[in-house]
Each structure stands twice: as structure tokens, then as C-alpha cells.
């Protein structure tokens, strides 16, 4: 099975490496040794290099000439700067969603909110998965593939920054209420309000992350 069975070796390597980076299995600050990881994955250095460059293009790795690829470990400034970009993208998405959403989009959004609420009432910790699902549903409603793609990349970087941070239960309710209000604005087709709520929501999430980093 030397040739691409279903996905090229490079493509498979991208998936495996991304997983390992995002879950913190390869901790921030550490280096990715080409020969070592290549043997580990059972592939040659060529495809692995392509995978590394790909993840570098997603900013999940940083390349240093003649030194190799490193998992970036970010400070507070990076978090702030990254959330500036995320806010720009997701506020635009919220506006578009408010003006383009269909009934199916609303059903989906309400569904995610309902699941979050069930989860909350059951005393379960608010899984980050549900937060991602909500934002994804909003992006679907916005129907802007390019914006959606960029948001996906940014969220991925946020996940990387979050690796090693535990969910803070105290902010679950606030996030849920933000989501609910966002859905109402989108329902009303109120683009300006949707944008404003999203901005406040992300500002809150950013502040929480900064607080978690500080500890």
C-alpha cells in the first residue's frame, strides 16, 4: 500500500500531527524531529515534511530555518491579537447570518442551545465541543465559505492556546446566555445587534482565557 489508499500519506500525517498538537500530546515549545516522527508514523521524511509545512501554514507549527518545526507557545499578547482577528471574522459572520439565515439554520441553532442548557442543568461541565458546535452552526447560517474557512483556522489556533487549560465552569452560564441572545438577534434579522452581541461574547471569552493563562 505504498500509494494513496484513501488519502495521501502526507494527508494522513497532517491529521495525526494536528491531533497530537491540538491535544497537547506534542507540548507547546517542543520540536518536531523529522526522522523520529517519520519512523514513528511509518512513513518517509518527504510526506512528513509536507505535513509539517501544511500545519505551519495553519500556524499550528512555526518553522525555523535549519532548526526545524516547533509548537508555538503563546503569551497574553498573542491571545489578544488572535481574538482581534477572530472578532473581525465572527462579527461579520454574525451579521451575515442575521440577514441570510433560513428556518433550518434557526432550528439547528436552537438545537445546539437546547443541548447546552440540558447539559448545564444536569450539572455537567460545558464541553468546549458544544461551544464549537454553536459557532459552527452560526457560520453555516452565514453562508460565506471563505469567512467560515478562516474562522475554522483561527478557532483551531484558539484550541491550541487552550490546550492545557481546563474549562472554567463559572463562565458557562454567561456564554450560554450570549449564545441565546445571539440566536434571538439572528432570528430577528438584526445584523447590528448580532454583531454587537458576538463582539461582547468574544471579548468575554478572551478575558476568561487571559485570566486562565495568568494563573
Partner DNA sequence: AACATGTCAACTGTCGACAGTTGGCAGTCT
Partner DNA sequence: AGACTGCCAACTGTCGACAGTTGACATGTT
Binding region for its own copies (CB under 8 A): 4, 8, 46, 49-50, 53-54, 57-58, 65-66, 81-82, 84-85, 87-89, 91-93, 96, 144-147, 150
Closer CB to its own copies, 31 or 53, in the complex = 53
* Partner that binds at residue 168, options its own copies, DNA, none, CB closer than 5 to 8 Å by kind: none
Distance, CA of 82 to CA of 78 (rounded, Å): 6
User: Could you list the residues that contact DNA (CB under 7 A)?
Assistant: 2-4, 8-10, 31-36, 43-47, 49-50, 63, 65-69
CB of 209 to its own copies, least distance (A): 15
Which of 67/146 has CB closer to DNA?
67
34 binds, among DNA, its own copies, none (CB under 5 to 8 A by kind): DNA
How far is the CA of 89 from the CAs of 72, 83, 85, 202, in angstroms? 22, 10, 6, 11
- Whether 24 and 163 have beta carbons less than 8 Å apart is answered as yes
Nearest-angstrom CA–CA distance, 183 and 141: 11
Query: Which CB sits closer to DNA, 36 or 111?
Result: 36
DSSP state string for 42-67: TS-HHHHHHHHHHHHHTTSSEEETTT
Contact in structure between 70 and 28 (CB atoms under 8 Å): no
Element (H, E) at 31: strand 31-32
Partner from DNA, its own copies, none contacting 117, C-beta within 5 to 8 A by type: none
The torsion angles phi and psi of 178, rounded to 5 degrees, stand at -55, -45
Looking at beta carbons only, is 53 or 199 nearer to DNA? 53
96 vs 113, beta carbon nearer its own copies: 96
Amino acid at each position: 500500500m505504498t500509494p494513496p489508499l484513501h488519502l495521501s500519506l502526507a494527508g494522513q500525517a497532517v491529521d495525526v500531527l494536528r491531533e497530537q498538537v491540538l491535544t497537547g500530546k506534542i507540548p507547546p515549545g517542543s520540536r518536531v524531529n523529522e526522522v523520529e516522527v517519520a519512523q514513528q508514523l511509518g512513513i518517509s521524511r518527504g510526506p512528513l515534511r509536507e505535513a509539517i509545512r501544511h500545519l505551519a501554514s495553519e500556524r499550528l507549527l512555526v518553522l525555523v530555518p535549519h532548526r526545524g518545526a516547533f509548537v508555538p507557545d503563546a503569551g497574553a499578547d498573542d491571545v489578544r491579537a488572535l481574538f482581534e482577528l477572530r472578532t473581525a471574522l465572527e462579527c461579520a459572520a454574525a451579521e451575515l447570518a442575521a440577514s441570510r439565515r433560513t428556518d433550518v439554520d434557526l432550528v439547528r441553532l436552537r438545537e445546539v442551545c437546547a443541548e447546552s442548557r440540558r447539559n448545564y442543568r444536569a450539572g455537567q461541565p460545558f464541553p468546549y465541543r458544544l461551544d464549537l458546535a454553536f459557532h459552527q452552526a452560526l457560520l453555516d447560517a452565514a453562508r460565506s465559505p471563505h469567512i467560515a474557512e478562516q474562522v475554522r483556522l483561527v478557532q483551531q489556533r484558539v484550541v491550541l492556546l487552550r490546550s492545557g487549560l481546563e474549562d472554567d465552569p463559572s463562565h458557562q452560564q454567561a456564554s450560554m446566555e450570549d449564545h441565546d441572545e445571539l440566536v434571538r438577534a439572528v432570528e430577528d434579522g438584526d445584523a447590528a445587534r448580532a454583531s454587537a452581541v458576538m463582539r461582547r461574547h468574544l471579548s468575554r471569552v478572551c478575558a476568561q482565557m487571559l485570566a486562565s493563562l495568568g494563573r
